[in-house]
Structure 1
Amino acid sequence: MPKTTQLRTYTVRDGRLDEWVERWRKEIVPLRLELGFTIGGAWVDREHSQFFWLISYEGPETFAERNALYWASPEREAMSLDPDDYLVHTEERTVEPAY
């Protein structure tokens, strides 16, 4: 399958941005990497309580299939991390390089 990259934009609940970033770094990133995803970077906009990151996958499955594997994994379940506890709004856009 060709490489798929998503730009993900999350609006985080007031006062929870730092906690979200910490959990994302320590729990989400290692599992994503273990499952073959790559992370192209992550940024915060403190003024708007937003978190942005680039995630890519290139492998035998589609991005959607691999993403479903992530969500169904026992490791993800063991996180006891409900995105709704942190995120008010999420947006995922599939993007491609222009430069």
Structure 2
Amino acid sequence: MTAQHTTDGGTQPERITWMRRYTIDPDLAEEFLRFLRDEVIPARREFGFAVEQMWLDADHTQLTWFVSRAGTSEEYAAAERDWESSEVRRIIFADKPKYVLAKDLCEVRRHA
């Protein structure tokens, strides 16, 4: 695993972060946030992911969150595929309403 330089001159293990911006149903925003907090985030944590930040816009139609994982971009992508195809994910999303109307996902890098 490679290292990343920190703003104080040190290094840390490489960590990949993805921005996940969702257009959501504003009537379901609070329910969706609870679902993420109580079910999705703990389950994703088991796959090595961490939620760095989560932001909801004022009209409750856009949720932006930053999800990171130690490793390379390829390792992140493999873990994401494992999560997407997992039985755990299938179970927690079963019978849930359509919270997300559209997604914008991309790898991002933090700059000082």
Q: TM-score category by the smaller chain? A: 0.7 to 0.9
Instruction: Identify which of 6, 11, 26 aligns with 1:14.
Output: 26
What letter is aligned with 2:110? Answer: P
CA distance in 2 between counterparts of 1:30 and 1:76 reads 11
The percent of aligned pairs where both chains have the same amino acid is 27
Query: Which residue does 1:74 correspond to in 2?
Result: 87
Deviation of 1:49 (Å): 1.3
String of CA shifts for 1:37-74, please: whole Å, max 9, x gaps.
Answer: 11101111132511111101114761111001111222
Higher CA-based Rg:
2
| Distance of 2:66 and 2:87 partners within structure 1 | 24
More helix as a share of residues: 1
Name the structure 2 match of 1:96: 109
The TM-score, its normalising length taken from structure 1, stands at 0.86
Pair 1:30 & 2:42 matched: yes
C-alpha distance after superposition, 1:12-43 (max 9, x if no partner): 01311111111111111001111111110111
Highest RCO, 1 vs 2 (Cα 8 Å, sep ≥ 6)? 1
Q: CA RMSD in A?
A: 2.1
Structure 2: tracts of 5 or more residues without a match: 2-13
Aligned length: 99
